[in-house]
Structures are given as structure tokens and as C-alpha cells.
Structure 1
Amino acid sequence: MTDLPLLLFVGAATEDSIALVERYPGRDERVVAQSIELSGGGPAATAAVAAARLGMRTAIVAAVGEDAAGGRVRGALRTEGVDVSGLRTVPGATTSRSVVVISGSEHSRAIVNQPGPVIEWTSEDNDRLTGAAWVHVDQHGWAPLRTATTRLGRTTQLSLDAGNPIEDLDVAAATLYVPTLPALLERYGRDGTTEVATLLGRALDDGAGRAVVTDGARGCYGMGADRQLLHVPAPAEPVRSTLGAGDVFHGALLAGLVHAAHGEIASHFQAAIAYATTAATVSCRATDGRSGIPEHAEVLSRLDPIHTNEG
């Protein structure tokens, strides 16, 4: 595909130490791990990797520390084809790192995170922003991006990962608002409403251009300006770990929208949602959040023909 637009990702870039165990240890108890892996992580960074692996031109604005972990984070992103010129190394700082314990029998995970340096927005980032067709932010990227909102012109669309709490969140700024179901319920279901169509409609009432909510193994729901509720179930794929699956979904959703605009998949919104759901579900075949991310051709091979140009 030629003339690809730039997708800019702003937020966290971390290093994860991941242990897969049969069950969580009790207090003062030691358990044997089935595997222990070191991987790149962070919502924005993993979303950028997913988009790059799915054929997109991507760049990241983030910050790492002046340490070995920061070097590994940078190297992993560069290897995936992500432009890391906006990934700054902060002297004296420590890179964000997480310890993740995944319990196979309980199908859950526990995460301990050490935050990294704060992103300091620069004039060079303004140039990256104005040159991007989409900018995607997580909870760490929201605040620094808001310092440059006057640069968000009509040619730049904002994708918002709202799965984690974000202070001073303005949903109206989002061209694409993508929370998890618990986050959507927390924001729009305080009166006891649980109907997804109503909750997504309230997000659109607040000014979001489109809204998509992920609901784990049940797939996801979406709604555009026509207020039609779309549902895409998760495909039947083996699941080893769901670590990073939501982040993969975000990057894959933007990739799906670009592929739809370029005729690589069907042009309707539901096709992009199905593309992202498939990519995120397939990525769960790996323990870490990145090594299982499929490439574009594999996603196409697994999509229902109604979402491709063959349907």
C-alpha cells in the first residue's frame, strides 16, 4: 500500500517482566513458573507495534529513563518499524517497568508497575502532530497532548484509549473514543444503566465522533453518527494470555480504518471493528502482549468475507 498516512502514538512505553504460573502464590509462598519472559509493554507503545505489524506507518512520543531498560524499549520499537525519534531519554530517570504474574488456572493477571518519566511536549512533537492523520493517546499521553490541542487541526483525528482513569478527560475531543466496558459503565452508567447502546449513545451525546467498547471474550460494540449499535463477537481462537490485547485492539482499529479507506477491507465501520477484534484475539496466543500480534495478511485470512472485499 502506498501513500500511507502517519499514525502517531502518545503515552507509555514500558518493559514488562512476565511470569506464567498455574496459580497465584499465597502469602510467603513460592510457586514454580511455567515461563518467565521479558517484553516491551505500555498501552501506547504496544498499540504502535500492532499498527506497524499490520502495515501502518507509525511513530511514538514517549519517555524512557537513562538505563538499560530504556535502551531495550527503544530497540524493540525500532525493530518493529516504529519511528522512535520522539522517544526521549530523560537523564537520571528510570524507565517504567512492570512485573506481571499471569495465573493460568484463574485466567487473570496481577500487575505491579513502576512509573517512568513524564512526557515533556516539545515543538518537534507539534510538527509530528500536524503531520499525522491520526494521533492515539493513552492515560499517560492525554495531559501532554492537551498542551498542544490548538495544533489538532481538522486533518488530525484523535483516538482515545479510555480504559484507565484519565484526569480532566474531555470526550468531545475524541474522534474515536474507545473505553473498556467497566470504564464506560463508570462514566455513563452511574444511574444504573447497563445497556450498551444507551451508554455509547451518551458518549456520542458528549461529543465523541465514534465510540467502541471492548468487552473481553464477548467481543466489542461500536456506534457511529447513525446511532446504530454494532456488535462483533470475538473469533474462536486459543487464548494463552490476554496481556496487551486491549492495546493491540487500539492499534489494530486504526489500522483497520486505514485499510478500509484504502480498499484493503470493506469500507464500513463494522469491518474495521471486526479487523481489530480479530487481530487482538489472535494476539492472545502468546504470553506477552506483542509476540503473538498477527500481520495484515493473517488477519485478512481469518476475517469473515462480509468484512473483506470478497463478501
Structure 2
Amino acid sequence: MLGVGENSWDHWIQLEGFPTPGEKVPVSATGEGAGGQIATALRSCAELGLSAAYLGAVGADGLGTRALAPLRSAGVDCSGVQVVPGAATRRAFIWVDGEGERTVFAVSDPALRMRLTELDTRRIESSALLMLDSEDLDVARWVVARARAAGVPVLLDAERWETEVREILREVDFPIVSGAVARQLSAAGDLGEGLRELMGADTVMAIATLGARGAVARHGERVLEVASPRVEVLDTTGAGDVFRGCFAWGLHRGLGAEELLAVAVRGAAFSCSGRGAQDKLPGREDLLRGGS
């Protein structure tokens, strides 16, 4: 399992509601910890027993070491991570409301970019599955092209819907977006039509995550819907990333389309019972509970 993309050091604060200008409000809880789309998805894979490696970038600062520490502890190979002199490791400041919904304020240094000349092509071409995000489109295009040429299946997480992102999404096997992004892909704002727009010539399954409502996917001409189990939600930060990690684990196990979607939804829901992106990651028994 190979992941290419973002890591982060997150700072979170929980309060019941966002204050109006000039207002003071009490804070329920605060914390910090490792996060980032691909880093969290890969750690989820590793905690489920998969062999995983990470290609990404950190600044030459203490935060980079802290952001990678949980990955290394989980057994993720981080030897391909690039340390960028003069750049700052990505940070995120996260507001979590009383219902557990999060709002992210990302701090990304423009200098923190992976150097394509230093990416290990052999790792890409030999991986069983490639996971990546759309944060750096130049990197995404380069990596997808090499994975496709080598016959490596690709799972792409996209939080954007510009034309360039849409083109890459249609080139991968498993495009995964939020319901909001899927609707943006449809002229009529229709979720089902948005999923159809994601289907390229080689797409196996196009997926939209729906938060507390679970997920919906198009698999060929079939539309699959899975509701989320009820959990006590503390913090939704990282739930989508855990969804992708659990989805990758299900692919590795060879699960059918419906159960594949179901285990990913279960994993994402489970993660919401902790605080921060990587505080509460599911084990195999959590994913298979209620399934095969």
C-alpha cells in the first residue's frame, strides 16, 4: 500500500458555537496531534495490519518529526518522505462544535512541495494500491500517469471540483469525494449525476461520502447506499481519511462492492468517537462487526 500526499500537525479547539465579533465563549477542550489526508488514511491501513509506505513532504522543523512519528510507530515506511529546507510543515487549526462537526483552517507553506525528480518511480510501479490526494495537482498527474502505465489501481481523494481535478478523477479506479463535491460536478446539483460524471473508462467504483448519512457509490450501473451506524460523535476530524484507509483494507481483502462500502462507513463512524484525526482508529473487529 503506497500513499502520496498530505500530512499535517493539527491543533483543535472545541466550543459550543462560533463567537460573534467581540464575544467571549468558553472552550470545552483543546488538543493537538498528527493529521493530514493521506497520512491518516495510511495509518488506518497500518493499524489494520497492512504493509504501508508514505511519500510526502515535511519542513525541516520539529513539527515534521512529530507529524510523522505516529506513522513510524504504526510501521509505515517513511523513508521516501522529503524534507524541504526553508519550508514549514503543514499545520491545521480546527474548530469542533458541540455536535462534533469540524471546520478546518489550513496553513500550507507554498514552498512545501514534493520534488518530482526525487519521487521513487519503482515504489509507485510496484505497489498493490496507490492512494493520493489532489492537494498538488502536478504531483497527482505525474503519479497517476506512472501508476496507470504499470497497471497499479489508484484511489484518489479530492476535496476540490475544478476542471483539472475532474480530469484526474476520471482517470483513476476509485475516485472518492464528499457529497458536496459530487453535487458540484453536476449542472443540476444532483448527487447521482455527479457520481456518473466521475465515471471514466476504467473507473471501478465512484464514491461520495455523506458524513452522518453514510456513503453512496456507483459501481457500473448499480448505485449502492450504506447508512452510517449510530455512534456518540465527539469529533468528525479525519473521518473521511479513515474511510479511505478502511476502503483500501477492504480492497486488499477482496470484499464485494457493498461490503467494501460498508466497512469503510463503519470505520469512519468509529473514528468519530475520538478527538482529533488519529485518536480513534478502528481495528479489524470493528470493521467486521455486523458484516462478513
TM-score by length of structure 2 reads 0.92
Residues 208 and 293 (structure 1 numbering): CA distance in 2 closer, same or farther, change over 3 Å?
Answer: same
Q: Hey, what's the Cα distance between the residues in 2 that align with 1:124 and 1:270?
A: 35
Is residue 2:123 matched to residue 1:136?
Answer: no
Q: Any unmatched runs of 5+ in structure 1?
A: 1-6, 262-266
- Aligned residue number for residue 236 of structure 1: 230
8 Å contact kept, 2:133–2:140: no
Report the Cα distance in structure 2 between the residues aligned to 1:253 and 1:159, rounded to whole angstroms: 9
What is the CA-CA distance between 1:148 and the residue it aligns to? Answer: 4.2
Mean CA deviation greater in 132-141 or 239-248: 132-141
* Paired residue type of 2:31: E
Contact 1:139 1:165 (C-alpha < 8 Å) held by counterparts = no
Equivalent residue number for residue 272 of structure 1: 260
Residue in structure 1 matched with residue 70 of structure 2 by the alignment: 76
Work out the CA distance in 2 between the residues paired with 1:241 and 1:164. Answer: 22
Which deviates the most, 8-17 or 165-174? 165-174
CA shift for structure 1 position 22: 2.1
Q: CA deviation at 1:248?
A: 0.8
**Alpha-carbon displacement from aligned partner over 1:30-54 (angstroms, at most 9, x marks no partner):** 3332221111111111111111112
- The amino acid of 2:158's aligned partner reads A
- Measured at CA, do residues 298 and 148 of structure 1 come closer, stay the same or move farther in structure 2, by a change above 3 Å? closer
The partner residue of 1:186 within 184, 187, 192 is 184
Amino acid at match of 2:106: N
Matches within 5 A, 1:1-311: 7-104=1-98, 107-116=100-109, 117-152=112-147, 153-165=149-161, 168-169=164-165, 170=167, 171-187=169-185, 189-190=186-187, 192-196=188-192, 198-204=193-199, 208-225=203-220, 227-259=221-253, 261=254, 267-300=255-288, 302-304=289-291, 308=292
- Quick check: 166-175 or 154-163, which moved more? 166-175
In the alignment, is the contact (CA less than 8 A) between 2:134 and 2:140 conserved in 1? no
Distance change in 2, residues 1:293/1:223 (3 Å): same
> Shift of residue 28 of structure 1?
3.2
Q: Distance in 1 between matches of 2:286 and 2:7?
A: 26
Contact 1:159–1:174 (CA<8 Å) still a contact in 2? yes
Shift of 1:273: 0.7
Conserved 8 A contact 1:232-1:274: yes
Q: Give 1:15 deviation, angstroms.
A: 0.2
Q: Distance in 2 between matches of 1:179 and 1:64?
A: 25
Q: Work out whether residues 21 and 31 of structure 1, in 8 Å CA contact, stay in contact via their aligned partners in 2.
A: yes
The alignment partner of 1:57 has SS state of coil
How big is the shift at 1:205?
5.1
Provide the C-alpha distance between the structure 2 equivalents of 1:247 and 1:289, rounded to a whole number of angstroms: 8
SS across alignment from 1:236: coil
Within 1, Cα distance between the matches of 2:115 and 2:162?
Answer: 18
CA contact (8 A) 1:278 1:303 kept: no
CA drift of 1:228 comes to 0.8
Amino acid of the structure 1 residue aligned with 2:164: D
Secondary structure at 1:89 match in 2: strand
> Under a length normalisation based on structure 1, what TM-score does the superposition of the two structures give?
0.86
The Cα RMSD (Å) is 1.9
Instruction: Please give the secondary structure, in 2, of the residue aligned with 1:85.
Output: coil
* Cα deviations by residue, 1:101-127 (Å, 9 ceiling, x for unpaired): 11115x533322110401112355212
**Equivalenced residues, count:** 287
Rounded to whole Å, the distance in 1 between the matches of 2:145 and 2:272 is: 38
Cα 1:203/1:147, change in 2 over 3 Å:
closer
| CA distance in 1: counterparts of 2:230 and 2:143, whole angstroms | 42
> Per-residue CA shift, 1:267-288, capped at 9, x if unaligned?
3111111010000000000121
Contact 2:8 2:36 in 1 (8 A): yes
